[in-house]
Amino acid sequence: MKDLYLPGEERFGPVSSALYSFGAKLWPITGFYRFVVRDMSNANGKSILDVGTGAGDIPIALANLNKFDIYAIDPSPNMIAIAKRRSANLKNISFAMGSSRQVTFKRRFDIIIACLTFHHWKEKGYSLGYLSSFLKKNGELRIYEYRNDALKYTPMRSHTLNMHELDSVLKGTGLVKDGILAEGSHIRVTLKRRKKNGRHA
């Protein structure tokens, strides 16, 4: 099986995947998950791709809304195995191996989401440009993270969204910011493709 990780990216093997799946049930991560699901519950569009899905908590919650067709990818075979096992009774969700640089579903999506995973990507600009090619017309890419300015003095700061870095990596991707939602220590940044005339594609 092809290794979907780049050198330096955090890997999740059998033990770390199981621990992450268990830890995801604990606060404060559950608060973050509620933020994402609440925000997405009001989203327009039918088809959703979750990039870096982990054990599948967010796409499973979205599938249970019976509003979306959910597709989810992760570079860890162990995470995908856990997610598939946990979603066996759901018909509107599909999990597969993949990454921000390799989408294995041959289709386009209304919304692509990246939840607590953008900060892990080693080739952020490339990944954003690549993922944008899987968006439908007027589709959007949503990055959900912890706010960098809200966690200044904690070890978690390396696992946050740095807006200056985002502005830098957006150059050349063909994407522009189309909205920001901040709630406590959580943030969502919406990106859309830019047309040549300056309007969204």
Count CB atoms within 10 A of the CB of residue 74: 26
Phi first, then psi: give them for residue 79, nearest 5 degrees: -65, -45
Give me the pLDDT at residue 28, please.
46
Q: 17 CB contacts (<8 Å, ≥6 apart)?
A: 55, 76, 78, 79, 82
Give me the pLDDT at residue 24, please.
55
Phi first, then psi: give them for residue 161, nearest 5 degrees: -90, 120
| pLDDT (tens digit per residue) in 79-91 | 999 999 999 999 9
Place of tokens 């944008």: 132
| pLDDT (tens digit per residue) in 113-170 | 999 999 889 999 999 999 999 999 999 999 999 987 766 655 555 668 888 899 999 9
Whole-angstrom distance, CA of residue 41 vs CA of residue 55? 20
CATH number of 14-193: 3.40.50.150
Coil, helix or strand at residue 143? strand
The tokens for 52 are 């870096």
Give me the pLDDT at residue 142, please.
98
Considering only CA atoms, which of 138, 157, 154 is closest in space to residue 146? 157
Give me the pLDDT at residue 148, please.
79
Provide Rg for the chain, Cα atoms: 16
Give me the percent of the chain exceeding a pLDDT of 90: 65
